């Protein structure tokens, strides 16, 4: 599974490097700011991806930063509700756990705040119960 993701950008484009540990591959994804994919290429290392981005798009080596995804949690009515942020163009997922087991339910929303409002509307989870737990 892949979780190390680094990102850079120029005026028009977003660049993401994702190392997939299970496959042993490194992906460079280039997209427009609206999320539409321009190119995805597979290289053998993070450095090779950075070199490609520099040679073809003039993206400086020192402009890359690691992406971090927020996790929020709320305990309410005997259940644990967890919101995990994903890529900005994807949104955030709401998961529910009861007695240490995941319920067969998840919900994708546009962002963390909408997930919290969704949990309030459908599960009555008070908005003030949510706690920021860190980054993944």
Q: Are residues 12 and 60 in the same domain?
A: yes
Q: Are residues 74 and 127 in the same domain?
A: yes
Residue-wise pLDDT for 91-132, tens only, equals 899 999 999 888 888 888 989 999 999 999 999 999 999 999
Domain boundaries, position 55:
5-66
Range list of β-strands (E), 2-136: 5-9, 13-20, 25-32, 37-43, 65-66, 70-76, 79-85, 92-98, 101-109, 131-135
How high is the mean pLDDT of the chain? 89
Residue-wise pLDDT for 118-129, tens only, equals 999 999 999 999
Q: Are residues 46 and 92 in the same domain?
A: no
Domain count, the chain: 2
Q: Are residues 10 and 58 in the same domain?
A: yes
Q: Are residues 22 and 44 in the same domain?
A: yes
d(CA 115, CA 136): 18
Q: Are residues 12 and 52 in the same domain?
A: yes
The structure's pTM equals 0.63
What is the model's pLDDT at position 3? Answer: 58
More reliable by pLDDT, 6 or 74: 74
């Amino acid at each position: 599974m892949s979780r190390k993701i680094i990102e850079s950008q120029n005026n028009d484009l977003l660049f993401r490097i994702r190392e997939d540990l299970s496959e042993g591959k490194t992906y460079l994804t280039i997209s427009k700011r609206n999320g539409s994919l321009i190119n995805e290429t597979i290289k053998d290392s993070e450095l090779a991806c950075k070199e490609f981005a520099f040679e073809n798009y003039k993206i400086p080596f020192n402009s890359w930063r690691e992406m971090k995804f927020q996790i929020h949690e709320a305990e309410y009515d005997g259940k644990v509700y967890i919101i995990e942020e994903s890529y900005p163009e994807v949104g955030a997922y709401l998961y529910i756990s009861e007695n240490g087991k995941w319920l067969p339910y998840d919900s994708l929303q546009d962002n963390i705040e909408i997930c919290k409002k969704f949990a309030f509307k459908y599960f009555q989870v008070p908005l003030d119960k949510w706690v920021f737990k860190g980054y993944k």
